């Protein structure tokens, strides 16, 4: 029987991947379409992609597929044909990463989920069949010339913190499921206004655009292919780039440099910095921004208390981690500023 899961430790897989000399492409894609049996679909994809040494994270659900992957360049054409051979995926846009400087993934994970993006929507009348209109990079640049156009960021607060479109409005939250009702509450008096929603690769803003139309908004648009496609289109066509800073990505890179602007600050000392790290203390693993000076001083930890834990032997550290559920452990300034946030575009 064919192997449908990884049988080797992630540590070993990472070591093997780091030793590879094969050039790779980092890709992302998604599609909302009905999948009758996600488990069968998942197994079919795992068998084929594993054969081509594709790494990455793919979620499959009855509502569609969401993928962020790394594929050997030599196998890209095979992968593309395999994707396009599926009826609902033929001609699908495959977003190539803006930067290819580091390994993005080391293992292949394909998981069946209830939804390809957790949205918290329970309204039985909601449907993805009616969604906002796509805008490409050129159309986006034209629309934002109108100061009345609202540009809404549908990413998490830590993504917004390091990079965003000029004059974008933050929905300050940890999760997409929290943002949907917040977005509706924030713009109740703007239901006739042109609204452009955006995210990293398009999957969240596409669903958000459908949600806003469902809630009675009239002129809702969403950025085709998200930030990744916008930046690639802008560079290919020589368009003005309205995105500043760094594009946060959910892989080993934790970010793609779009412009040299540093708009975030070290969460320890406040020095201009936009480099995300995870706390070296495994019982914490906090995602936060840290400058090189603080990284050295704290041994890669987020605090002196975590630094002290690293001095304990392995058994003591294991005891501290036992039974812990860190969940989404992210440094969050957003909640503390929610009440004071004016919800107006930056000047």
What's the maximum distance between 2 C-alpha atoms anywhere in the chain?
61
Whole-Å CA distances, 335 to 17, 51, 173, 205, 339:
38, 44, 7, 21, 8
Q: Which long-range contacts (CB under 8 A, 24 or more apart) does 234-242 make?
A: 234/137, 237/137, 237/138, 239/137, 239/138, 239/141, 240/141, 242/140, 242/141, 242/144, 242/165, 242/166
Question: How far apart, in whole angstroms, are the C-alpha atoms of residue 215 and residue 288?
Answer: 34
| Alpha-carbon torsion (95, 100, 104, 110), positive or negative | positive
3-state secondary structure of 127: coil
% helix / strand / coil in the chain, to the nearest 5? 35, 20, 45
- Among the residues of the chain, which ranges form H helices? 10-19, 38-51, 76-84, 137-143, 157-162, 176-186, 203-214, 226-237, 292-297, 304-309, 314-321, 334-337
Choosing from 199, 266, 284, 294, the catalytic residue is 199
Provide the b/e sequence for 235-245 (b: ≥16 CB within 10 Å): eeeebebbbbb
Q: Can you give the length of the chain in residues?
A: 347
Sign for the CA dihedral angle at 179, 184, 188, 191 comes to positive
Query: Is residue 306 among the annotated active site residues?
Result: no
Q: How distant, in Å, are the alpha carbons of 28, 71, 99, 152, 201 from that of 68? A: 4, 10, 14, 23, 10
Structure tokens at 294: 């603080």
Active-site residue list: 199
């Amino acid at each position: 029987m064919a192997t449908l899961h990884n049988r080797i430790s992630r540590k070993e897989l990472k070591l093997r991947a780091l030793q590879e000399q094969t050039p790779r492409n980092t890709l992302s894609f998604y599609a909302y379409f009905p999948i009758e049996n996600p488990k069968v679909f998942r197994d079919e994809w795992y068998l084929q992609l594993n054969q081509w040494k594709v790494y990455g994270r793919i979620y499959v659900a009855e509502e569609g597929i969401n993928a962020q992957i790394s594929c050997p360049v030599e196998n890209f054409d095979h992968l593309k044909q395999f994707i396009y051979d599926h009826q609902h995926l033929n001609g699908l846009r495959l977003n190539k990463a803006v930067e290819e400087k580091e390994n993005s993934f080391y293992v292949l994970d394909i998981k069946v989920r209830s939804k390809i993006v957790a949205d918290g929507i329970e309204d039985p009348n909601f449907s993805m069949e009616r969604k906002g209109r796509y805008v490409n990079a050129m159309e986006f640049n034209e629309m934002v010339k109108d100061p009345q156009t609202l540009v809404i960021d549908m990413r998490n607060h830590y993504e917004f913190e390091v990079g965003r479109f000029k004059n974008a409005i933050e929905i300050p939250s940890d999760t997409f499921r929290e943002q949907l009702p917040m977005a509706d509450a924030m713009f109740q008096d703007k239901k006739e206004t042109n609204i452009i929603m955006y995210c990293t690769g398009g999957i969240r803003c596409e669903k958000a655009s459908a949600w806003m139309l469902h809630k009675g908004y009239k002129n809702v648009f969403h950025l085709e292919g998200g930030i990744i496609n916008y930046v690639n289109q802008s560079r290919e066509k020589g368009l003005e780039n309205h995105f500043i800073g760094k594009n946060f990505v959910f892989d080993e890179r934790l970010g793609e440099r779009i412009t040299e602007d540093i708009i975030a600050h070290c969460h320890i000392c406040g020095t201009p910095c936009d480099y995300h790290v995870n706390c070296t203390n495994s019982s914490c693993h906090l995602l936060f921004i840290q400058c090189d000076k603080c990284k050295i001083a704290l041994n890669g930890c987020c605090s002196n208390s975590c630094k002290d834990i690293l001095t304990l032997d392995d058994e003591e550290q294991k005891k501290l981690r036992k039974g812990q559920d860190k969940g989404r452990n992210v440094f969050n300034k957003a909640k503390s500023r929610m009440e004071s946030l004016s919800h107006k575009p930056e000047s």
